[in-house]
Amino acid sequence: MPHTSAPLDIEAGRLTNGVRPALPGFGWFRRRAAAPAPAGAGASTATIIAFLLPALTIYVAFTAYPAVRTLWNSFHKVLPRREEFVGLENYAALMQDDLFWRAVRNTIAWACASPLIEVSIALLLALALYAKVPGARFFRIAWFTPVLMSYIVVGILWVWIFNYDWGPVNVALRAVGLGGWARAWLGDPATALPSLIFVTSWMWVGFNMVVLLAALHSLPKEVIEAAELDNCGWGAKLVFVILPLVRATILNLIVLSFIGKMKIFDLVWITTKGGPLWSTETVSTYVYKRAFEWNTFDLGYPSTIAAVWFVIVLAAVLALTWAFGLRQKLEY
């Protein structure tokens, strides 16, 4: 059968064209940090500086310095023409800020729900294609499309799809006699967040599917054949052979999806702007509003939000990495 040959050979740690994958793998921090220095030759300091200077300059000017400055800002009141030290005042205010905590809850709910939905549907689809369905290549290419579009395009499309009067969702509901369920999906505080979570799932399932399919195609054939010789049924083969072998990939995808949703901004901004009634407010949109929309002109307080959020994201990612890594050790 012509291939769906996976472009990625994740388990073996490389792409077929030789690029190391994408998914850095759990424990990437530890592993990368501990990696041995390259075996290559030493070179003059001048050479090394010449090669690194352009990248480091950009990195320092547009990433490192702004990050440090945000931390600095977080202890200040930063008005257009003056700056004044306020110590931990911003942090204290943040603890009392109900809107912030609302945004944190929304974002975390999103970041926890999405990976589970995306990865489980993606796994089902990947298994279906793995079972040698005709047209697998076409399906794979079609399903991958949504992730290539910007959140802006996707957001506008789904605003229309969820439209109360003529959106396909409500039209379909009315057509099957469930008109009572029709509603302004993004305008109702009860359904706005779930609807947006649904949109991100629509967008990312194909992506997760492609990565999982690649992992499935790179499984050692002998192991699966051995299971078949032992008269292992599909269900058992899946649970005892396939899933354990692609577990690392699944866990990777969960963390990636999690990180992506912790950053989400564009989709919310173009669809609901955090409304109705803050039901879709995420930390990113809240920071943006506090920095550039509310006429407080203070950049210190939003910097404090950014700093606290940075710590939360970092801690969550490290915790996930650690939890998944630990389980791996216990099992084997």
Partner 1 sequence: MRPAAILQRSLLLVALSVYTAFAAGPFVWAAMMSLRTTSEISRNHFALPSPAHWEKFPQAWFNSNYSVYFSNSLIIVVTAVVILTLIGSMAAHCFARYRFRLNRVLYFVIFSTLIFPPQITIISLFQILVQYGLYNSKLGLTMVYVAIQLPLTIYILESFFARIPSDLFDAARMDGFSDWEIFWRVSFPIALPAIATTVILNFILLWNEFLYAVVLITDEANRTLPLGIQRFMGDQLEDIGMIATGLMIAIVPVIVVYAFFSEKLIQGMTAGAVK
**325-332 long-range contacts, CB within 8 A, separation 24+:** 325/26, 325/27, 328/26, 328/247, 328/248
Q: Hey, which residues between 258 and 277 contact partner 1 (CB under 8 A)?
A: 259-260, 262-263, 265-266, 269-270
Give the range of 92-100, 112-120, 177-185, 300-308 binding partner 1 by CB under 8 A: 300-308
- 84 Cβ contact partners less than 8 Å away, ≥ 6 residues apart: 76, 77
Per the DSSP assignment, residues forming a β-bridge with 77 are: 84
79: DSSP letter: -
115 binds partner 1 (CB under 8 A): no
Number of residues that bind partner 1 (CB under 8 A): 109
**Please, which residue, 116 or 141, has the CB nearer to partner 1?**
141
Report the alpha-carbon distance of residue 287 to residue 290 in Å, rounded. 5
Considering only residues 38, 87, 180, 235, which one is a binding residue for partner 1 as defined by CB under 8 A? 38
32 binds partner 1 (CB under 8 A): yes
Smallest distance, partner 1 to C-beta of residue 218, A: 13
**Please, which residue, 130 or 193, has the CB nearer to partner 1?**
130
1 binds partner 1 (CB under 8 A): no
Q: How far is CA 234 from CA 125, 208, 305, in A?
A: 15, 22, 49
Q: Hey, which residues between 216 and 235 contact partner 1 (CB under 8 A)?
A: none
Report the alpha-carbon distance of residue 98 to residue 262 in Å, rounded. 19
Smallest distance, partner 1 to C-beta of residue 222, A: 25
Burial 35-63 (b: 16+ CB within 10 A, else e): eeeeeeeeeeeeeeeeeeeeeeeeeeeee
145 binds partner 1 (CB under 8 A): yes
Give the range of 86-94, 146-154, 184-192, 223-231 binding partner 1 by CB under 8 A: 146-154
**Please, which residue, 113 or 198, has the CB nearer to partner 1?**
198
Give the range of 85-93, 175-183, 186-194, 296-304 binding partner 1 by CB under 8 A: 296-304
Give the range of 109-117, 184-192, 217-225, 303-311 binding partner 1 by CB under 8 A: 303-311
Considering only residues 130, 198, 202, 324, which one is a binding residue for partner 1 as defined by CB under 8 A? 202
Pinpoint the alpha helices (H) of the chain.
28-34, 45-59, 65-73, 89-95, 98-130, 136-144, 151-161, 168-175, 192-217, 221-229, 234-236, 243-262, 266-271, 283-288, 300-331
